[in-house]
Structure 1
Amino acid sequence: MKRLDPFLMALICAIVLASVLPCRGEMQHILQQVVTVLITLMFFFQGAKLERHAIIESVRDWRLQGTVLLCTFALFPLLGIGLHLLFRNLFPNALFGEDLWAGILFLCCLPSTVQSSIALTSIARGNVPAAICAATVSNIAGIALTPLLTGIVLGHVGAGHSPLESVLDVAKELLLPFILGQILQKWIGPIVKRHKFLISFTDRGSIVVVVYTAFSSAVVEGIWHRVSPLHLLEVALLDSFMLALVLVASHFMGKGMNQSTENSIALQFCGSKKSLASGVPMASVIFPSASVGIIVLPLMIYHQIQLFTCTLLARHYGKRIGLETHSKPHS
């Protein structure tokens, strides 16, 4: 059984600390400024780290890459909207309130993960280069598509922002540092590659600080009076249901396009993931600080569910493909 990963444990500790000792007043304002700087640095290093040829290579298998984007930015949002309409209209008193529904819908608009999509595709003996390309393109496209889709799906974004305003805000705070990192890649890239652990620690540390700051604001606004343990369980069940539906749908999409087993695996894992690393910074840009804590709760729960479920699935695929390989007669 897969245990909680250290990163998720750090996020849980940040939530507990914010619940017991939330930052307030001037300290909260200072931390929000620190968060802005950390997020800018995180996307700058991402730009410096990403090789340009990976972006160019990603457009070769356009059917596979397009289907991953379709799952991530069309199937998920439509699924979220459908479930929201179903429960709000047929079962108006069921499940949680609109704040958590906003978090579910925001989750549906996020790009795929990078590290876990690649790692799980590798464990499953799928097409790893295709997974690298798909995850990369998804994250680059998400900088523009996530705030736009969030505005469309929610009907409003943040404190009265239009979808276009949200795209501009995300572009200013996330895309510009990323582009600057690409421009300076020749000089910064080798440093990033030599200090991978330090950069990874900086990235994850940034997200932990964002989560602590967001939940501090949410605690001050009374988040734990609005969200009960039962609500968290309901979110977990809904997250699990969405993940299961997309895993099944992406599996049959691969079969319908006559993709190879390796390509189908890459499609399934890249198309079903949602990025915590991109989602938390984007939420802090798109939504008011007091709303970020409750908005990212469904995403944090989904993050652990997707890791646990897809690790089991990847191991199953790896064993099955291994048996198929050994059963083939040698020439």
Structure 2
Amino acid sequence: MDKNSGQKSAVQYLYPPIDPFDQRMIDMGDGHKIYVEQCGNPRGLPVIVLHGGPGGACSPAMRRYFDPRAYRVVLFDQRGCGRSQPHASVEGNTTWHLVRDIEAIREALGIEDFIVFGGSWGATLSLIYGISHPERVRRLVLRGVFMMTQAELDWFYGGGAGQFWPEPWARFRDMIPEDEQGDLIAAYHRRLFSGNVLEETRFARAWASWENALASVYSNGSGGDAPGDYARAFARLENHYFVNAGFLEEDGWILNNVDRLADIPGVIVQGRYDMICPPRRAWELAQAWPDCDLRMIRNAGHALSEPGISAELVRVMDKIAAEEGLQDPWPR
């Protein structure tokens, strides 16, 4: 089974496609305008979806992990990406700006508290938001945990993952002269922010391709060729956050502050063969978080679209809806 067939088979576990009942741009007052949409039941249990990257965007498929009769689903494109403006901008774009954006969205929509649902970088942001505003979080549902530590960056950009995927690693590494290969994040940073849009886009596509090549356990090692605008926003923002260590005060900040999540229930859905965010971090987090249920998914990698991961996430959200007395599970 190749990557694309794996993605197709995940669809069988999702709810039918749904359109938003609300779409808006929220002006944050500092030059950034954030795209926000709502779908599902306007009176349902609120859940906010935090996409990955940094620099990805929300997609219509992300609406489909939730019973639309039970949930009021809020999705937004984080600063600098997707439909938010300005596109690919790193000015005024830090983790703490994103935490404030979530609060601004919550207040604008009149929501007291919500379930936070996030994967990869979205899991990182979910954890940081939960630590910062535990009173606003009913539950955390996380996928493909990334803790924004130097060890994780070293694994993915320092050759660890390349031991398993030497062909795409060589393509990614060899874009950079040999004398700069000791710090590929810094080397790519110089090119992603060169001021030459053509050069930035070329290196952005290489950056995105390396990550895409490893996202699925079904991958054949080809990362594809992402559209230029998307790749440029994705790579610039991701690199900007990584160069700045996620704008956290110290390495290991999340684990060092995990006690603030003690009263918040959490579920982690983690691919056993996740090459981008190795399972060790999810396990460490679960060990330190008393009310956390870690679910390792065999034969699954990192991507949200992995069949086993999609099936488990829908199962988790259906179970929460049933526990809340909102709905019987959608007939399958």
TMscore range, shorter length: under 0.3
Higher strand share: 2
For the pair shown, the structure with the greater C-alpha radius of gyration is 1
TM-score w.r.t. the length of structure 2 is 0.27
Q: TM-score, normalised by structure 1?
A: 0.27
Relative contact order higher in (CA < 8 Å, ≥ 6 apart):
1
